[in-house]
Chain A
Amino acid sequence: MSQIKLQNISKTFGVNKALRGLDLTIEDGEFFVLLGQTGAGKTTSLRIIAGLERPDDGKVLIDGQDVADWNAAERDVALVLQQYSLYPRLTVRGNLEFPLRSKIRGLNENQIKRRVEQAAETLHITPLLDRKVERLSGGEMQRVSIGRAIVREPRVFLMDEPLSALDAKLREVLRVELKKLHNELGATFLFVTHDQVEAMSMGDKIGVLNKGRLVQVGTPAEVYSNPVNTFVARAVGSPPMNLIDGQLSAGSASIGAGAFSLPVAANGGVDGRDLTFGVRPEDVTLESGAPVEGRVFDIEDHGVIKILTLEVGQNRLHATVPAQMSVKLDDSVRFGWKPEKVLMFDRGTGVNLAASA
């Protein structure tokens, strides 16, 4: 049982407000991903939970207990960092044993040995055990680093961009392994990243952070299909959601002073207001009979799909189409969108009208 609760946490470094009244609940056994740009407060949140940083204001509860007076060791959390994550001068075994040799754990040599070997097996690093950490590749280092966390059998795993320093291929492999590990251990994971692909593919739940505030929490699907504002809409999804300024008139979105107009499944009462329409690239459809004509401005071939950039007047939209579709630059194409998938945001505040209603 390890539920983490942050209540109204604020933290300031000098003039820099890292966190402003952060409220966050991570349920027991959940794989929670905190997504945000550099400086959004992800790492600070993690360090506050770990007990490496004291919040200026607010409470941290682990399993309902206020842990303000607990130091890092007492909180029984494990930390995996992006780099500097292993103790230098030690072997892999030395690194894995290090947390177990702490007096507070009181383990005997046999228990230590067993746990180290078990962790090494889980992570496929048994052949590396007697190697110095200086001689490891980046991927091996991160495996050992994760190993050092799991030998402890902690209540909570805190991971601060553990995959960001690795190359793309390795990242994918470890992503899968981490998820598997989470399933096996059933422990609570808090994973911090700036990479929305990681967030989407790994998290049971995603929390999007912006400037020290939690903007939205939800399952990847919720956050993806129903972002609460344009910030989240931009942050999640690749290619990003199309966000186009326009107005609603009689159930249609009219874009850019009559450049084009397409139907939306609208809720009434916002006619004439300045809006931003949001539509995912996969919900933009290309058909010969579609209502709007655009010019193909750019083509990105991703193998399975192509991402087209269409130009209509002043506006550009991304659309994903099957890779087989033959299309050339500067072609004229006709497109539409799925009206029920179109989101409307207030242009001034960026808030999703459906969410605020």
Chain B
Amino acid sequence: MAAVRSQREVWTNRAAILAVLVALVVMLAPIYWITSTAFKPRNLATTVPPTVVFEPTIAPFVKLFVKRSQLREPVSEEVYDAAPWWEQMVLDGGEKVVRRGRTGEVRSSGYGKRFTNSLIVSIISTILAVSMGTLTAYGFSRFRVKGEDDLLFFILSTRMLPPVVVAIPMFLMYRTVGLNDTHLGLIILYTAFNLSFSVWIMKGFIDEIPREYEEAALVDGYTRIQAFFKIVLPEAMTGIAATAVFCFITAWNEYAFALIMTNRKAQTAPPFIPSQVGSGLPDWTVIAAGTFLFLLPVAIFTFLLRNHLLRGMSFGAIRK
């Protein structure tokens, strides 16, 4: 279809494209900055003007995972040659890998553990929030619930309180019941946090699914639970995917509660990464490497669910 366009429309169109490009550059600049810094040698990380062309190295990632300390004097050649390639990278930077006294085992920086903690807490809390939210939303959507509007508002209102307001009382409560610095504690917290969001979004999606489908299944000899799993759930997948992405991002990025509620055992990546800035001279390449890895799960998760996110709602047998 060759649409006839006036000269003015052509120019408006070009201006719009330009505006989008500018916005894109502005949005992507920090990501480029982090990514490039994560692969820079340390001496190029803070140059003014910034270095754009450099030989990429994975030294920051090696340093990210091991505990290091400053070298007082350069190591001897034999020691250097005997060291594995990754240890050489650390030695090149004027640092040495800290090993456990007798066993000689390499000590971890703790990043891997924090990262795993982040994954555990985010994934479990997302699954809980989305599944509970979907069931709750289904109830609100399909049954006549007494005081439905009030209840829904009440659910939403749990999100209106800023985290800082509840942080201290939560901390005291958690300390009393022993949930401080536990995975379970953070999972409960993030689930509660995301649940209101999940209920509201899922209610919107489920409202859109014609109840005729389930009723047909009920009449066809299925129980309501079977109808829910066989008919409603596949139809709600788009909504579930979208809700899961948002819940995951919220839990993954959460900083304030993680900072207050955890310190060692259950600490997640967000409070850990900036804590590394303060120890000795900040090595920005290592921090960038940590941040870069931290960005990946959300990107991968969103990428995997992109079909569900993009397809939008398409209800098969409807003629409109």
Name the residue on A nearest B216 (C-beta). Answer: A79
- Contact for B218 among A52, A84, A138, A148, CB less than 8 A: A52
Bound form: Cα–Cα A141–B319 in Å: 10
Give the residues in chain B near A103, CB-CB below 8 Å.
Answer: 221
Are the CB atoms of A104 and B221 closer together than 8 Å? Answer: yes
Residue of B with least CB distance to A135 = B316
Given the contacts A88-B235, A99-B221, A102-B222, A165 and B216 also touching, CB distance less than 8 Å: no
Contact call A72/B215, Cβ cutoff below 8 A: yes
Contact B215 A52 (CB under 8 A): yes
Q: Do B219 and A79 touch (CB < 8 A)?
A: yes
In the complex, are the beta carbons of B316 and A134 less than 8 A apart? yes
Query: Which A residues lie at the B interface, using CB under 8 A?
Result: 50-52, 71-73, 75, 77-79, 81, 83-90, 98-99, 102-105, 132-134, 136, 138, 141, 148, 152, 165
Contact between A87 and B213, CB atoms less than 8 A apart: yes
Contacts A133-B316, A134-B317, A138-B319 given; does A84 touch B210 at CB 8 Å: yes
Q: How long is the Cα–Cα vector from A141 to B316 in the complex, in angstroms?
A: 11
How far, in Å, is B288 (CB) from chain A's closest CB? 44
Chain A residues with Cβ below 8 Å from B221 are 73, 99, 102-105, 152
Task: Assess whether B318 is interfacial by the CB under 8 Å rule.
Answer: yes
Instruction: For A52, list chain B residues within 8 Å (CB).
Output: 215, 218-219
Chain A nearest CB, measured from B296 CB (Å)? 32
Interface size class of B (residues with CB under 8 A): 20 to 34
Q: A84 CB to closest chain B CB, in angstroms?
A: 4
B317 with A87: CB separation less than 8 A: yes
Complex CA distance for A83 and B213, rounded to whole angstroms: 10
Select B317's contact among A51, A71, A73, A141, beta carbons within 8 Å.
A141
Interface residue from B215, B222, B235, B315 paired with A79 (Cβ < 8 Å)? B215
Whether the Cβ atoms of B223 and A73 lie closer than 8 Å is: yes
A196 CB to nearest chain B CB (Å): 24
Bound complex: CA of A122 vs CA of B215, how far in Å? 25
| A98 to B222 Cα, complex, angstroms | 10
Residues of A within 8 A of B223 (CB): 71, 73
6 closest A-B pairs (Cβ-Cβ)? Answer: A88-B316, A102-B221, A99-B220, A84-B212, A86-B317, A84-B210
Minimum CB–CB distance from A166 to chain B (whole Å) comes to: 10
Bound CA span A141–B216, Å: 14
| Chain B, Cβ-Cβ closest to A136 | B317
- When each residue 281-303 of chain B gets 1 if its CB lies under 8 Å from chain A and 0 otherwise, what string results? 00000000000000000000000
